[in-house]
Amino acid sequence: DAKTTQPTSMDCAEGRAANLPCNHSTISGNEYVYWYRQIHSQGPQYIIHGLKNNETNEMASLIITEDRKSSTLILPHATLRDTAVYYCIVLSIQGAQKLVFGQGTRLTINP
């Protein structure tokens, strides 16, 4: 079972920042927080990951709380192409650890 809790759906206006929350209260010390998204029926796409520090790349920012029990994915200027299901996954870096997908958050960007 997935170790994370996410809202089922969210809406955001085009051009605004989309903030997607995730709770992972049982995360252990060697587990990272990963975010993936799935646009329609395409393969999941890696977005970003982090351990305890905030992270930023060309796609998004990841804010992890100090206690690591929750995180927020931020898409700073959402576009219509960001409409997708977003998955928050906790994962140990050791070995061939499988990704366990939950239901994710269905993010709809509105014009």
Partner 1 sequence: EPEVTQTPSHQVTQMGQEVILRCVPISNHLYFYWYRQILGQKVEFLVSFYNNEISEKSEIFDDQFSVERPDGSNFTLKIRSTKLEDSAMYFCASSEIGYYGYTFGSGTRLTVV
CB of 58 to partner 1, least distance (A): 12
Residue 54 makes contact with partner 1 by CB under 8 A: no
Residues 11, 25, 46, 54: which binds partner 1 (CB under 8 A)? Answer: 46
DSSP E strand stretches across the chain? 9-13, 18-23, 31-38, 45-50, 55-56, 61-64, 70-75, 84-92, 105-110
Identify the residue among 25, 26, 28, 45 touching partner 1 (CB under 8 A): 45
Nearer to partner 1, 66 or 96 (CB): 96
Phi, psi of 98 (to 5 degrees): -80, 150
User: Is 39 near partner 1 (CB under 8 A)?
Assistant: no
Burial of 25 (0-12, 13-18, 19+ CB in 10 A): exposed
Q: Is 40 in the site for partner 1 (CB under 8 A)?
A: no
Q: Which residues bind partner 1 (CB under 8 A)?
A: 32, 34, 36, 38, 41-46, 49, 87, 93, 95-96, 98-103
